[in-house]
Amino acid sequence: MHDGHSRPLFSFSPSPVVSAISRRRGPARLAAAVTALSAILLTAGCGSSGTTDDSPKASASAAKGFPVTIDNCGVRTTYTEPPSRAVTIHQHPAELMLSLGLKDRMAGTSYPDSAVLPALRKDFASIPQLSKEAPSFEKVLDTDPDFVYGGYASAFAEKEGRSRKAFRDAGIDTYLNRENCAGKEGVTMEDTYAEIRTIGKIFGVPDRASALVSELRTRVDKASAAVKGARDVSVFVYDSGDKSAFTAGGKGLGNELIELAGGRNVFSDLDDVFGDASWEQVVDRKPEVIAIYDYAGTTVAQKKKFLLSQPALADVPAIRNKRFVVLPLTDTLVGVRSADAVGDLARGLHPDSFE
């Protein structure tokens, strides 16, 4: 698949771990710490003997809003200050951080799988790209990070040496996109809003996060209002597959995006974020529109050609009428693009509502 692993990727469920913040010190920061300590000792030596300055200026104070404790996919982390050198693995975490104005806190990115949002391209290009796919553990450590933010569970693949425990043991905090540890209730747009607020809290920018959530919610509500009252259009999501169809089930964000856009996912009864469906099922469920997920690897043109060339699908309404909606996979994930996905889907399913 596009990230080197077979989906579904949302099954990371580590044992509960308590992780107190413990910053990994690189040579530069170690030197700075030694210099600061020397200055403190020198000042203490020059001061009056037996006196203590308890004024607010002399006392160490926690950053505003800290400490912050976050429970994330079975890992509890307490932050005493905002991270200052973050590395993102996969694109949607990077775009979320940039949308919160956190470019100066990012030490590296990796694994871009879609064209970067136009408004973020300049900032994205200014951040070192560590790897076209998931970087090695050593490559991440070379950036001297204090925080690693993964988009898929594969970001912290134990067999590749990048487990969350390995990072914790190196003094580096981690966060995994919440879609990877969805509960039985599945993932909704509220998870997107919660993800943004959580990252805003970790980095000490809750006001920016609230403003971004408000903006995205307004765009989603506007698109949904435009198709309110329209007949639901049946939709089949085609991610990949030839012997069977790898599609969006009822537990992922993709399912709600379709519903918000005035559609009905024909595989909403699939009890997972992603899963396989037979082509016979696709035929039986007669989707009117096919939503093609676009990401690195097989092109959209190749996917369309495959679908249109299958004799068994010839009478499926979406195939017969060549009704396709293309969505970058990144748009369908918990991140800042999901509002765009609702709008694009709504226009594809109900073009008359936007004339």
3-state secondary structure of 328: strand
Q: What is the pLDDT of residue 62?
A: 59
Q: What is the pTM of this model?
A: 0.82
Out of 38-52, 80-94, 274-288, least confident range: 38-52
**How many CA atoms within 13 Å lie on the side-chain side of 34?**
7
Average pLDDT, integer, range 204-218: 98
User: Which are the contacts of 143, defined by CB distance < 8 A and separation ≥ 6?
Assistant: 85, 87, 107, 108, 128, 130
* d(C-alpha 39, C-alpha 46), whole Å: 11
Handedness of CA 179, 181, 186, 188 (dihedral sign): negative
3-state secondary structure of 320: helix
Beta carbons within 10 angstroms of residue 88's beta carbon: 28
Q: Is the pLDDT of residue 215 over 50?
A: yes
Question: From the centroid of its chain, how far is CA 57?
Answer: 39
Average pLDDT, integer, range 140-151: 98
By C-alpha distance, which of 157, 162, 159 is closest to 180? 157
3-state secondary structure of 303: helix
Q: What is the pLDDT of residue 18?
A: 30
* d(C-alpha 308, C-alpha 324), whole Å: 11
Tell me if 194 sits within 8 A of 201, measured CB to CB. Answer: no
Rg of the chain taking only CA atoms, in angstroms = 24
Specify the higher pLDDT residue, 248 or 5: 248
Strands 68-72 and 75-79, sheet pairing? antiparallel
* d(C-alpha 90, C-alpha 295), whole Å: 12
pLDDT in tens, 97-110: 999 999 999 999 99
pLDDT in tens, 62-95: 578 899 999 999 999 999 999 999 999 999 999 9
Out of 8-17, 67-76, 242-251, 295-304, least confident range: 8-17
Specify the higher pLDDT residue, 341 or 57: 341
Q: What is the pLDDT of residue 52?
A: 36
Tell me if 292 sits within 8 A of 300, measured CB to CB. Answer: yes
Count Cβ atoms within 10 A of the Cβ of residue 16 and give its class: 0-12 exposed, 13-18 middle, 19 or more buried. Answer: exposed
**How many CA atoms within 13 Å lie on the side-chain side of 241?**
19
Specify the higher pLDDT residue, 41 or 209: 209
